[in-house]
Amino acid sequence: MTGPFLTLDRTDIRILEILQNDGRISNIKLAEAVNLSATAALARVQKLTSEGFIMGYEAKLDPNLLNSSFVVFVEVLLDKTTPNALDEFSEAVLDYPEISACHMISGGFDFLVKIRCANMEEFRRISGQILWRLPSVKETRSYPVMEVIKDSSQVNLNFKVKSKNK
């Protein structure tokens, strides 16, 4: 392993696993779970945060209760893929909360966009009033989701780390 992973030991990984599953756990309970004092656990969390491993905390909301259960993935092909066109599209996407995710892709299209909304009618509005008005859009292909099987924002922490506490 190279890079920042070398700075993590098993206790750090365990802290990240616990916080990823329960970001509201008390520091005392976290400390007990990793066999540290509350002060040492807090120092570890602060270090993981300052080093950028922990980017923040947020509540996971139920889209079904918030009229946002309709998901559509959209392939977006730009009319040109110059650095300027890619940057303009990327920056424009950030302005629209209707777009819940956007990834630049290598392959047959340029971006994969995830839209979360109430229904097909709302998606049609988003497609016409937002997607097609984004810079350099040449073509889109939409894939409405029939059923969500797995949707996780968690990072897989099952990797081997060189560590002094083996």
List, in order of start, the domains of the chain with CATH numbers: 3-50 (1.10.10.10), 70-144 (3.30.70.920)
Mean pLDDT for the chain? Answer: 92
- Give, to the nearest 10 degrees, the angle between helix 38-50 and helix 10-21: 80
> How many angstroms separate the CA atoms of 78 and 111, rounded?
8
pLDDT band at 158 (very low <50, low <70, confident <90, very high): confident
Average pLDDT over residues 116-143: 97
Say what the pLDDT of residue 90 is: 98
Q: For residues 4 and 158, is the Cβ–Cβ distance under 8 A?
A: no
Distance CA 111, CA 19 (A): 31
- Those residues with Cβ within 8 angstroms of residue 27's Cβ, 6 or more apart along the chain or in another chain: 38, 41, 42, 45
Predicted TM-score (pTM) of this structure:
0.83
3-state secondary structure (DSSP) of residue 144: strand
Q: Is the per-residue pLDDT at 98 higher than 80?
A: yes
